[in-house]
């Protein structure tokens, strides 16, 4: 029996106009690959329609933030693989530690 470990990260963002949340954005990232999800939810349609340019800018900034976090996770996974190669440890050895 071995412990299998995974790392996931939850990200949230909100586009706020005059103190009101217009769009809520969420992302879930994982080191296991293929399970990332990014969602956006319009909370106030009237404010969204009246402020599309600014709200879409916020959405774009959130997407960039998600990409940065994905890249950081990828770099961490690659570094872990290199460390494993350098020490000769297997994934099973690391899981057992």
Q: What pLDDT score does 35 carry? A: 82
Q: What pLDDT score does 30 carry? A: 87
Q: How far apart are CA 85 and CA 55, in angstroms?
A: 45
Confidence category of residue 89, pLDDT binned at 50, 70, 90: low
Distances (CA, A) of 69 to 12, 15, 29, 39, 72: 12, 19, 8, 15, 5
Confidence category of residue 92, pLDDT binned at 50, 70, 90: low
Average pLDDT over the chain, rounded to an integer: 87
Question: For 30-62, what is each residue's pLDDT tens digit?
Answer: 877 668 999 999 999 999 999 999 999 999 999
Q: How far apart are CA 75 and CA 65, in angstroms?
A: 15
47 touches 35 (CB < 8 A): no
């Amino acid at each position: 029996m071995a412990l299998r470990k995974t790392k996931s990260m939850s990200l949230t963002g909100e586009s706020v106009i005059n103190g009101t949340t217009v769009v809520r954005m969420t992302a879930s990232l994982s080191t296991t690959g293929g399970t990332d999800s990014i969602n956006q939810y319009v909370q106030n349609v009237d404010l969204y329609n009246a402020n599309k340019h600014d709200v879409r800018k916020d959405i774009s900034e959130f997407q960039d933030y998600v990409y940065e976090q994905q890249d950081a996770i990828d770099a961490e996974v690659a570094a872990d693989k290199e460390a494993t190669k350098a020490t000769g440890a297997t994934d099973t050895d690391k899981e057992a530690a």
